[in-house]
């Protein structure tokens, strides 16, 4: 029998591959100029709320996270999916590898299935006195704009929350998605021959991994018409059924 030094794919190996990929993408986010764009940061970010919500936050010493579905601008996730779909079409148009074309097509076909992911957010603005926010979230200006130290909120980043600056520029949104997909495909193509994929569909697994990573970006993309919000966001993603509100201590 011919011996092989290839690693047999299984659940544990697949999990480890994606952990390593996640670490690699994190490093790239700091060093890759196509992923590392300058954003306006402030020391204080503001959460607009009604008086009732303000009292609840103070009394409970907690911030509550709301499912994206319940937000006034809940169509934003759909917007992110459309941005990704446009980027995929552009990549496929310029691709010659049959295997990579299958991957890109699989990603596009399965994007919509992720629009119902359980994603919960707490939203802030870098502007503490913005008319549109008073009207939308603070009872027509009769509520409160609560300031939070940004570095305190970022303390939780990576533990169980993601801290995100919302990106409003379509040009950069597509550039980010394009680069992430290219990095992930190159990563898998590099390890492809070292893995024994027998019994598994390579293209399907790679597309599944791409969706898992890029869907995290869809909730940080918004149409440029919302640019004045200058939004900063805490996001928590879960699976399963829970209440639509989640709280953390503040």
- What is the average pLDDT value for the chain, to the nearest integer? 86
Tokens of 151: 């570095």
Among 14-18, 208-212, 220-224, 235-239, the range scoring the smallest mean pLDDT is 235-239
For 48-105, how does the pLDDT look when each residue is reduced to its tens digit (9 = 90+)?
A: 999 999 999 999 998 888 887 676 555 777 788 889 999 999 999 989 899 999 999 9
Looking at residue 241, its pLDDT comes to 40
Cα 147–chain centre separation: 24
* Tokens describing residue 110: 């399965």
Distance CA 64, CA 242 (A): 13
**pLDDT band at residue 161 under the 50/70/90 scheme:** confident
Residue bearing the bigger pLDDT, 69 or 26: 26
Residue 100 near residue 108, CB atoms below 8 Å: no
232 touches 152 (CB < 8 A): no
What's the number of domains the chain is made of?
1
Tell whether 63 is covered by a domain.
yes
Q: Does residue 161 fall inside a structural domain?
A: yes
**C-alpha–C-alpha distance, residues 37 and 100, integer Å:** 27
Q: Which two tokens stand for residue 176?
A: 């980010």
Domain coverage including residue 150: 37-169+200-249
For residue 186, being part of any structural domain is answered with no
Predicted pLDDT of residue 67: 82
**Stated pTM of the model:** 0.81
The larger pLDDT score, comparing residue 218 to residue 165, is at 165
Instruction: Answer whether residue 188 is part of any domain.
Output: no
d(CA 162, CA 91): 28
Q: What pLDDT does 4 receive?
A: 63
Domain membership of residue 217 (yes or no) is yes
Is residue 52 a part of any domain in this protein?
Answer: yes
pLDDT of residue 215: 78
Report the sign of the C-alpha dihedral through residues 34, 99, 92, 74, in that order.
negative
- Per-residue pLDDT of 95-140, as tens digits, reads 989 999 999 999 998 887 655 557 788 999 999 999 999 998 898 9
Please check whether residue 10 lies inside any domain of the structure. no
The verdict on residue 27 lying in a domain is no
- Counted residue by residue, the chain has a size of 250
% of the chain residues with pLDDT over 70: 86
């Amino acid at each position: 029998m011919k011996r092989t030094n290839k690693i047999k794919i299984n659940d544990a190996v697949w999990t480890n591959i994606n952990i390593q990929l996640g670490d690699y993408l994190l490093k790239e986010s700091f060093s890759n100029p196509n992923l590392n764009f300058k954003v306006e940061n402030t020391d204080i970010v503001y959460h607009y709320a009604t008086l009732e919500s303000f009292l609840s936050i103070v009394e409970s010493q907690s911030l509550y996270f709301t499912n994206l579905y319940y937000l006034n601008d809940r169509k934003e996730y759909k917007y992110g999916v459309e941005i990704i779909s446009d980027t995929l079409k552009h990549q496929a148009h310029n691709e010659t590898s049959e295997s990579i074309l299958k991957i890109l097509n699989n990603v596009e076909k399965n994007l919509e299935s992720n629009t119902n992911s359980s994603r919960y957010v707490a939203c802030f603005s870098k502007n503490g006195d913005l008319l549109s926010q008073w009207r939308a979230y603070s009872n027509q200006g009769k509520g409160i704009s609560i300031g939070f130290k940004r570095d305190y909120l970022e303390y939780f980043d990576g533990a169980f929350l993601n801290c995100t600056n919302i990106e409003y520029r379509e040009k950069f949104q597509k550039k980010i998605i394009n680069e992430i997909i290219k990095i992930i495909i190159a990563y898998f193509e590099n390890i492809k021959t070292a893995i024994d994929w027998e019994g598994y569909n390579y293209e399907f697994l790679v597309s599944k991994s791409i969706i898992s990573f890029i869907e995290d970006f869809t909730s940080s993309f918004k149409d440029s018409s919302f640019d004045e919000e200058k939004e900063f966001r805490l996001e928590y993603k879960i699976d399963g059924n829970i209440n639509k509100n989640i709280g953390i201590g503040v």
